[in-house]
């Protein structure tokens, strides 16, 4: 039987972390979030400006893929969460699939521009996120990326589910759980 990698993807502030934590808890799966890795790096190496945040962001992806590799090597199920991009990530996932022969379920989160913008503003002023993310300096970058369409879906998955996270109370969690249990 193949192992399963559940990827929760999407644009910033679409609720990836919230959804990934809910799924991880339900199935007692290890959850590797790129932001958690990045925040650990901030704590170890410090933080300053947006350029430093971007550099640590690159390193956090390298570490994310290292952790995925180690877990899949032991044929364990795993859930990962980040904003993935086809041009950077598809080849990495294809290499892992060739190496370990697992099923890849992508849960791609999206929400309305209005909701994403409001969530981002709230997150930036709330102080709940690590200051190393420098969210207060990212507002224009977020708006620009939203105008470009956010992040695309990876086209290498065994199953992709698009989940509207505009209102968490309207998500069909049972549909998500059935897809997970089917794999």
What the block records as the tokens of 159 is 């199953």
What the block records as the tokens of 82 is 């980040």
Q: Would you say the C-alpha torsion 140, 112, 109, 148 has a positive or negative sign? A: negative
Q: Do residues 79 and 23 lie in contact, with contact meaning Cβ atoms separated by under 8 Å?
A: yes
Give the total number of structural domains in the chain. 1
State which residues form the domain around 10. Answer: 3-182
pLDDT tens, 77-122? 999 999 998 999 999 999 999 999 999 999 999 999 899 888 888 8
Band of pLDDT at residue 133, cut at 50, 70 and 90: low
Residue carrying structure tokens 């969460």: 81
Among the listed residues 133, 57, 51, 45, the one whose alpha carbon sits nearest the alpha carbon of residue 88: 57
DSSP character string of 10-54: ESTTSSHHHHHHHHHHHHT--EEEHHHHHHHHHHHH---SHHHHH
What integer pLDDT is reported at residue 139 of this predicted model? 64
Q: Do residues 99 and 26 lie in contact, with contact meaning Cβ atoms separated by under 8 Å?
A: no
pTM: 0.90
What integer pLDDT is reported at residue 121 of this predicted model? 82
Provide the CATH number for the domain around residue 15.
Answer: 3.40.50.300
């Amino acid at each position: 039987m193949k192992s399963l990698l559940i990827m929760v993807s999407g644009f910033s502030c679409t609720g990836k972390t919230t959804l990934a934590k809910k799924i991880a808890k339900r199935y007692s799966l290890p959850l590797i979030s790129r932001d958690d890795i990045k925040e650990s790096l901030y704590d170890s190496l410090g933080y300053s400006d947006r350029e430093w945040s971007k550099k640590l962001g690159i390193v956090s992806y390298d570490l994310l893929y290292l952790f995925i590799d180690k877990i899949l090597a032991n044929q364990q199920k795993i859930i990962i969460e980040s904003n993935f991009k086809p041009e950077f990530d598809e080849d990495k996932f294809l290499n892992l699939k060739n190496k370990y022969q697992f099923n890849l379920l992508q849960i791609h989160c999206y929400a309305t521009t209005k909701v994403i913008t409001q969530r981002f503003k709230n997150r930036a002023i709330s102080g709940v996120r690590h200051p190393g993310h420098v969210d207060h300096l990212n507002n224009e970058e977020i708006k620009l990326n939203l105008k470009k369409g956010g992040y695309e879906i990876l086209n290498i998955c065994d199953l992709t589910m698009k989940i509207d996270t505009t209102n968490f109370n309207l998500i069909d969690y049972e549909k998500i759980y059935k897809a997970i249990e089917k794999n």
